Structure formats: structure tokens, C-alpha cells
Amino acid sequence: MYKCVYFSVYGNGKDTVYRSDISIDDVKEIERNIQTINKILSVADYYLMVKDNCCDFLMDCRHNGPGNDKVFIRANRLFLNALNSYYVWQEYSEHHPINSHHRDIIHKIKNHDVLALANRIRNKGVHNSSLITASTYDLINNHCSFIINIDELFTEKEQNGFNKKIQCYLSDKEKLDAITFIIDFLKEFDRVNHDIWKKIEGPYLESIKALQMYVPENPLNWYNSVILDDEGNPRINIGRTLELVAIKCRLIIESIE
């Protein structure tokens, strides 16, 4: 039989056996639940990566503003980083959906406005030296803009092929302010991820609840819990999984809210 031991934060420095009746079938079930949790945490990782890259771009623009060539080049780099990380998030989500609801939400992105436009702009960025081609500064309102020239980036035929939501978004914009676009993008990206989280939290919470059956009731001892095999060798670091759950849940809640 397998057993769960933990190093108590209140104890005498020795391992304490919490459960010694864990069967091989239990171990396989624990491993399946950890796999589900890790898969969902990967979705969270990609979401947070996109958020961080978008915030890096916005923060850099606010602090540095338009100016010398180095600032201008950095703005292009950070802007493309944000779009590329979004592309990676979308690719991962399409190939590793948690459930059918998650897959359906990802497939509907092509009918969005700013999210679909982000893909279009990113694809152009692969073949263009700079997406942002100009910068301006409004001294009176203390506002800087980094300009994407839509008419130069896309042909008339390409623009006519945009979905109706993109066309509506660009209806009064010959030029697009990259800062405003990223802000609009983040609002929509957060909304979509909030919808995704509501659809995948069921299996996530079920897997966490299943793991809690094998660790002490005191959360302080969860993170020090390890499943040992019948020879006393560590088989599953169940505590580390629960620690990551706590960290990622806090980051997700802070980001989405």
C-alpha cells in the first residue's frame, strides 16, 4: 500500500503519516487529477503571459512616450511581443482544450472584432519591419500615441474581407493608436478568459477536491505532503501541486477582476 506523509510545521521535525491505505488505483486516480490540474494551470500560464506582455507595452509607452529611435523600436518590439503571445495562447487553447465549452469559445474568436484584428495585425507583423510607423505627443492633454496605419498595412481587398465586427471597429479609423488598441484588446481578452474560466472551473475544482481526500485537513500541511510507494520512495509530490493551485488561483483572480 502507498501512504501520504507530511512534514508538520508544528511538529518535531519528523515525517507524520496521514494515510497508509492508499491503493495503486488511488494513485492512478491522483495522477489523473494532477494531470487535469496541470493542464488547466497551463491555460492560466498562457493567459497571464499575454496579460504581462500587454502591460509591459502599455507601461513602456506611458513612461517613455514617443521620442528617440530606441524608444520607437522598443515600442514595436513590445507590441509584437504582446500579439505573438496572444497567438501562442490561441494555438495552445485550440490544440489542448479542457472541454468542449473551452473549444467552442476559442473557435468563436474569429468572429470577434479586436481579437480577430489582433491576429490580422500580428500576421502582417511577421512580414513587415514595423507595425507602428509613427508616434505623436499631445502636449496639451499629455497623451502619446503610437500609430498603426491601417491603409498602409492592409490592402483595400484585405480590408473588405474583414468580418463585419472588425469593419465596424475600424469604420472611423484610417490610423489606429496601438495604445488604445491594446487597451481595447485587453478588455475583450479578459472577458473571453472570464468566460473560459467559468466553463473549466468545474473539472478543476473536482480534481482539487479529489486530491484533498489524501492530504491533512490543515492547509498549512498540504504543501508538505508527499505520496510514498510501498518501499518508502517518493511517488507523487501532491503538496507541490496544491501549492501551485493556490498561487495560480490568486493570480487569475487578481488578473480577471
* Residues 29-40: tens digit of each pLDDT: 999 999 988 888
CB 87 within 8 A of CB 103: no
Which H or E element spans position 127?
helix 114-127
Tens-place pLDDT, residues 58-95: 998 877 655 555 677 888 999 999 999 999 999 999 99
Roughly what angle, to the nearest 10 degrees, separates helices 69-95 and 114-127?
120
Question: What per-residue confidence (pLDDT) applies to 10?
Answer: 53
Mean pLDDT of 200-205: 85
Structural domain spans, the chain: 2-256
pTM summary value: 0.84
CB 114 within 8 A of CB 185: yes
Question: What per-residue confidence (pLDDT) applies to 221?
Answer: 76
Q: Quick one: CA dihedral 76, 92, 209, 238, positive or negative? A: negative
Pairing mode of beta strands 225-228, 175-177: unpaired
Radius of gyration of the chain, Cα coordinates, nearest whole angstrom: 24
Q: What is the mean pLDDT of the chain?
A: 85
